[in-house]
Amino acid sequence: MEDKLFGYMQWPEIEAIIYSEHDRPKQILGSHKVEDGVLVQAYFPGAVSCEVLVKDREPMMMKAVDSEYFAQILPDADIPDYMYQVTYGDGHVVKCRDAYAFPATIPEEDIKKFQAGIHYEIYKVLGAHPMRIRGIKGVRFAVWAPDAMRVSVVGDFNQWDGRRHPMQRREGGIHELFIPGLKEGELYKYEIKLKGDTVVLKSDPYGTLMQKRPDNASVIYNIYRKHQWQDEVWMKQRKKDRTKEKPEFIYELHLAGFMRPDAVIETDDEGHETVVQEAGFYNYRELAHKVADYVKDMGYTHVELMPVMEHPLDESWGYQVTGYYAPTSRYGTPEDFMYFVDYLHQKDIGVILDWVPAHFPRDLNGLARFDGAPLYEHPDPRRGEHPHWGTLIFNYGRKEVSNFLIANAMYWVEQYHVDGLRMDAVASMLYLDYGRQDGEWLPNMYGGREHLEAIEFLKHLNSMMKKRNPEVQMIAEESTAWPMVTGDVEDDGLGFDLKWNMGW
């Protein structure tokens, strides 16, 4: 049997697994029917032995065909339900299911819609999603990284070792892997091996929760069915008020700037003060009551929150976003933020979010050069960089990038019940020469300074928002005299409902 086993070994493929370069590991790892039964192959760095466990059967030792790479032929006509029992060099023993025994679950139709830029719920596909496959609980991970040599899921659950869970490349540069046994609350990142063998760690662009700064790992968190919404009256009334002729009195605030607990300071006998605890943050639930009381007392109808999306720098007020799908963990969990919106709605207060699709920061864990090449940003620095802000500009002409942003707008409206989005820095999106000197910008195909791809993105977003959520307000912070900002898309307008006029 050992001769037959070695006859099935594909040594170049095994070497690619061991050197962590394989982007289609399911071709070799896991279980596969062969002429002599079922061939099982596994790679466990640090292991000294591995057994296959099948119910009502004695454990079967796997052959170490190359150090920590194991293989065995099971005497079965069909693939059985099996687990591994792995013994590591330090003596501890782990039982686990085979991540490579599970099929890919993302339908090709979802991938095609994403490639076309029209998957308005792509956040339900990409990212980390707890689910059951074949009755087994686990988490499916999926990320878009077309230029990566290899992508792995890493976290505490695998010692942050990118060799342990390489992902399977799918069409369009999507990488997917279901890891059985994982639960909510686990930290994770994507380890991306770039061309040239450089390895980087990236937070999940579609992650729904991130660690509190300065840490920046993504956290497995299922936002669905978490919160029992109680704002039915508000939501029904909102649909009736589609004319937007009802007066609004909007209070813009930064949650930490509105109110936060004081720092704890101790004074010694000589009068010297020591900060024992820095000023903290109130939870979204606490803030809901404090904000609602103030807003009602002052007579406001709406609050407009400076960005609540995850961001690393307090001083940015949230305008340099690293987690577009994650409410900042400074104030709690996504469920806590749902409570915030729900409570304000129950108090007849609308919630508008400042939203930043104009640019993003260069933080190494974020979107910048995500898979080793410009992916979310435009590759030409004359279009892909803001010289004054030091940030990067989205490549609006790339369908998957446009889809990332449009789906993000839908996400906050449809999953968090927000009543409007105030889009930051629209003027910087409309003009190719915004903030640039002669020779620092690249004209459009007609030789003009209008950013045609960004204009198309805005029209696409606003038209789809009106189709899916016509009662939601789309507001542009546009500081120039661009015509038809609130004009209908059908009349060549941008399709916004309101213009937030800085020079009023």
- Reported as a single tens digit per residue, the pLDDT across 258-288 is 998 876 677 777 777 776 667 789 999 999 9
At residue 287, the pLDDT reads 97
The pLDDT confidence band at residue 196, using thresholds 50, 70 and 90, is: confident
Whether 84 and 118 share a structural domain: no
Residue 486 near residue 496, CB atoms below 8 Å: yes
At residue 262, the pLDDT reads 77
Whether 80 and 192 share a structural domain: no
At residue 2, the pLDDT reads 73
Tokens of 246: 């009802």
Bridge-based pairing of strands 168-169 and 420-423 is unpaired
At residue 1, the pLDDT reads 57
236 is a domain residue? no
- Reported as a single tens digit per residue, the pLDDT across 304-332 is 999 999 999 988 999 999 999 999 999 99
Q: Which of 100, 124, 159 is the last residue of a domain?
A: 100
Bridge-based pairing of strands 391-392 and 323-327 is unpaired
Residue 424 is among the residues annotated as catalytic for this protein: yes
Whether 477 and 329 share a structural domain: yes
The pLDDT confidence band at residue 244, using thresholds 50, 70 and 90, is: low
Residue 477 is among the residues annotated as catalytic for this protein: yes
- Reported as a single tens digit per residue, the pLDDT across 134-187 is 999 999 999 999 999 999 999 999 999 999 999 999 999 999 999 999 999 999
CA–CA distance, 78 with 56 (Å, rounded to integer)? 16
Q: Is-above-0.75 flag for pTM?
A: yes
Identify the domain containing residue 410 by its residue range: 247-500
The pLDDT confidence band at residue 503, using thresholds 50, 70 and 90, is: low
What is the CATH classification number for the domain harbouring 262?
3.20.20.80
At residue 488, the pLDDT reads 95
Q: How many CB atoms lie within 10 A of CB 188?
A: 25
Strand-pair partners of 87? 49, 93
CA–CA distance, 42 with 50 (Å, rounded to integer)? 9
Whether 283 and 181 share a structural domain: no
The whole-number average pLDDT for the span 85-106 is: 94
Whether 389 and 490 share a structural domain: yes
Given the residues 477, 490, 491, 497, select the one marked as catalytic: 477
Strand-pair partners of 396? none
Q: For 475-494, what is the HEC assignment?
A: EEECCCCCCCCCCCHHHCCC
pLDDT at 198 over 80: yes
The whole-number average pLDDT for the span 111-121 is: 98
The pLDDT confidence band at residue 479, using thresholds 50, 70 and 90, is: confident
CA–CA distance, 237 with 253 (Å, rounded to integer)? 25
At residue 47, the pLDDT reads 95
- Reported as a single tens digit per residue, the pLDDT across 375-419 is 999 999 999 999 888 999 999 999 999 999 999 999 999 999 999
The whole-number average pLDDT for the span 244-248 is: 79
CA–CA distance, 411 with 172 (Å, rounded to integer)? 23
Whether 125 and 88 share a structural domain: no
The whole-number average pLDDT for the span 17-42 is: 95
Whether 94 and 112 share a structural domain: no
- Reported as a single tens digit per residue, the pLDDT across 77-95 is 999 999 999 999 888 999 9
The pLDDT confidence band at residue 242, using thresholds 50, 70 and 90, is: low
Whether 177 and 302 share a structural domain: no
Residue 174 near residue 25, CB atoms below 8 Å: no
% helix, strand, coil for the chain, step of 5: 25, 30, 45
CA–CA distance, 262 with 128 (Å, rounded to integer)? 36
Is the bond preceding 214 in cis, omega lying within 30 degrees of 0? yes
403 is a domain residue? yes
239 is a domain residue? no
Whether 363 and 441 share a structural domain: yes
At residue 344, the pLDDT reads 98
Percent with pLDDT over 90 in the chain: 86
Q: Provide the mean pLDDT of the chain.
A: 94
At residue 226, the pLDDT reads 83
Question: Per-residue DSSP letters for 464-475?
Answer: HHHHH-TTSEEE
Q: To which H or E segment does residue 212 belong?
A: none
At residue 245, the pLDDT reads 73
What is the CATH classification number for the domain harbouring 28?
2.60.40.10
Q: To which H or E segment does residue 14 belong?
A: helix 11-18
241 is a domain residue? no
- Reported as a single tens digit per residue, the pLDDT across 200-229 is 999 999 999 999 999 999 999 999 988 999
Q: Which residue has the tokens 């013994």?
A: 87
Whether 61 and 184 share a structural domain: no
pLDDT at 293 over 70: yes
Percent with pLDDT over 70 in the chain: 97
Tokens of 87: 């013994």
The whole-number average pLDDT for the span 338-342 is: 98
401 is a domain residue? yes
Whether 207 and 115 share a structural domain: yes
Whether 43 and 177 share a structural domain: no
Given the residues 424, 438, 471, 491, select the one marked as catalytic: 424
Domain count, the chain: 3
The pLDDT confidence band at residue 28, using thresholds 50, 70 and 90, is: very high
Q: Which of 100, 120, 143 is the last residue of a domain?
A: 100
